[in-house]
Amino acid sequence: MRKRTTTAEWQEQTKRWRIRVQKNGALKSFYSSTPGRTGQREANAKADAWLDDSIRDGRKKVGPLYREWVEELKLTCGTSYVKQCAKYGDYYILPVIENLRIDELTEGDLQKCIDMSYKKRCLKKGAKRTGDTPLSKKTLSTIRSTEKAFVKWCRRNKYTTLNPDLDVPKNARVGKREILQPQALRTLFSVDTRKWYAKHIFDDYIYAYRFAVSTGLRPGELVGLWYGDIKGNTVNLRRSVNVEDETTTGKNENSIRSFDMCQQAREAYEAQVQLLKDSGVQLNYNTPLFQIPCQRSLKRRWEKYQDGNGITPRITLYELRHTFVSVEAGELTDGQLKMLVGHSRNMDTFGVYRHELQGQREELAEATTAALKKAHG
């Protein structure tokens, strides 16, 4: 690739950025009407793409390239993620940029997808609107990450040099989340039965619920946890089972992690191991710790446990994770907490948190024990 020695300059008369570059004796100008440094980057990116002899056919439309990307995802990613990327493309991204040439795609076009979705929700023609409430911050963040993943694939395949810097609207609403309140937490740690017709019977998933709220594990991580993943007091998370019953390495690059159990998690783990022994289950390295066949089974059983024990409002399994985060928020630093629950690096300062967690496992476990005791009295 030829290196440009100039940068785009703002032309006050025409109100746009302009850069002139030369290749093989030919001079060419590139422009962007986007104000600010975003427009400067866009003009420079267009010039870089022209200078790069290895850039492939820039006349290709975004729509076919996006669908090609989704097809390639099927080779390496779980079905849930592939479906999500296809859905977000159909609903929020492609209605805005599908017919653009890839060499014309700008950071502003991608930002427009986010901004329009924020106000109008689903942008797909003919799609049924589910309400007028603006999309949540989480959904908008997923649109952004999907766009960035697609453009990264385009860069790798030499269709563009674009590397967008995208924003979620500052006023985007935070989705409402329920968590277990103190009385419900007390119930969870003291009642081990669920209702079956007119009587109460032992719920053999009870230790899974308690382990989940004591560790912040995702539902898929709970289903995918093996007996051999726990050594001494340390939990080593290596896999997750998604809603399609596929075993994956987790939601993001931080999902593979290790941490020490707090007292409540340790008690749930030991009780579960004893339950397996009493049931005659042979404990091998790859024995599923909680004997949960799939996320759907766990979801149904958890709902029955709540209904049978008067836990209202009913919360989801993922909200058990939110409960853990809420309980720990006052005891751990933001970095410790986010690394402990396996958040992606764009949610925190990745390197600092990994070092902090590995160096302070016992302290984190003690803080978690204290926080949970305080939360449910």
Higher pLDDT, 337 or 196: 196
- Tell me the average pLDDT across 250-275: 86
Higher pLDDT, 334 or 176: 176
Burial of 36 from C-beta contacts in 10 A (0-12 / 13-18 / 19+): exposed
Q: Which two three-digit tokens encode residue 146?
A: 């999907």
pLDDT band of residue 86 (cuts 50, 70, 90) is very high
Look over the chain and give the mean of its residue pLDDT values, rounded to a whole number. Answer: 84
- From CA 125, how far away is CA 117, in angstroms rounded? 13
The answer, yes or no, to whether residue 332 has pLDDT greater than 60, is: no
pLDDT band of residue 163 (cuts 50, 70, 90) is confident
Kindly report the backbone phi and psi dihedral angles of residue 105, in degrees, each rounded to the nearest multiple of 5, phi listed first: -65, 130
How far lies 65's CA from each of 15, 144, 152, in Å?
Answer: 32, 17, 12
| Half-sphere exposure at residue 332, Cβ-oriented, CA atoms within 13 angstroms | 30
The answer, yes or no, to whether residue 360 has pLDDT greater than 90, is: no
Q: Which residue has the tokens 């866009």?
A: 42
Burial of 298 from C-beta contacts in 10 A (0-12 / 13-18 / 19+): buried
HEC string of the chain equals CCCCCCCCEEECCCCEEEEEEEECCEEEEEEECCCHHHHHHHHHHHHHHHHCCCCCCCCCEHHHHHHHHHHHHHHHCCHHHHHHHHHHHHHHHHHHHCCCEHHHCCHHHHHHHHHHHHHHCCCCCCCCCCCCCCCEHHHHHHHHHHHHHHHHHHHHCCCCCCCCCCCCCCCCECCCCCCCCHHHHHHHCCCCEEEECCEEEECCCHHHHHHHHHHCCCHHHHHHCEHHHEECCEEEECCEECCCCCEECCCCCCCCEEEECCHHHHHHHHHHHHHHHHCCCCCCCCCECCCCCCHHHHHHHHHHHHHHCCCCCCCCHHHHHHHHHHHHCCCCCHHHHHHHCCCCHHHCCHHHHHHHHHHCHHHHHHHHHHHHHHHHC
Q: Which two three-digit tokens encode residue 280?
A: 């005659």
Residue ranges of the chain assigned to CATH 1.10.443.10 = 182-376
CATH architecture designation of domain 182-376:
Orthogonal Bundle (1.10)
Provide CB contacts within 8 A for 184, sequence distance 6+.
Answer: 311
Q: Which two three-digit tokens encode residue 326?
A: 């809420």
The answer, yes or no, to whether residue 349 has pLDDT greater than 60, is: no
Which pTM value belongs to this model?
A: 0.69
Contact (Cβ atoms closer than 8 angstroms) between residue 188 and residue 297: no
pLDDT at residue 23, as a whole number: 81
Query: Rounded to a whole number, what is the distance in angstroms from the first to the last CA of the chain?
Result: 64
CATH code of domain 62-156: 1.10.150
- Tell me the average pLDDT across 270-288: 97
- From CA 143, how far away is CA 124, in angstroms rounded? 14
Task: Indicate the residue type of 370.
Answer: A
pLDDT band of residue 358 (cuts 50, 70, 90) is very low
pLDDT band of residue 351 (cuts 50, 70, 90) is very low
For residue range 285-325, list pLDDT tens digits in order.
999 999 999 999 999 999 999 999 999 889 888 888 777 76
Contact (Cβ atoms closer than 8 angstroms) between residue 78 and residue 252: no
- From CA 177, how far away is CA 114, in angstroms rounded? 23
- Tell me the average pLDDT across 196-202: 91
- Tell me the average pLDDT across 169-186: 82
pLDDT at residue 328, as a whole number: 62
Kindly report the backbone phi and psi dihedral angles of residue 29, in degrees, each rounded to the nearest multiple of 5, phi listed first: -110, 145
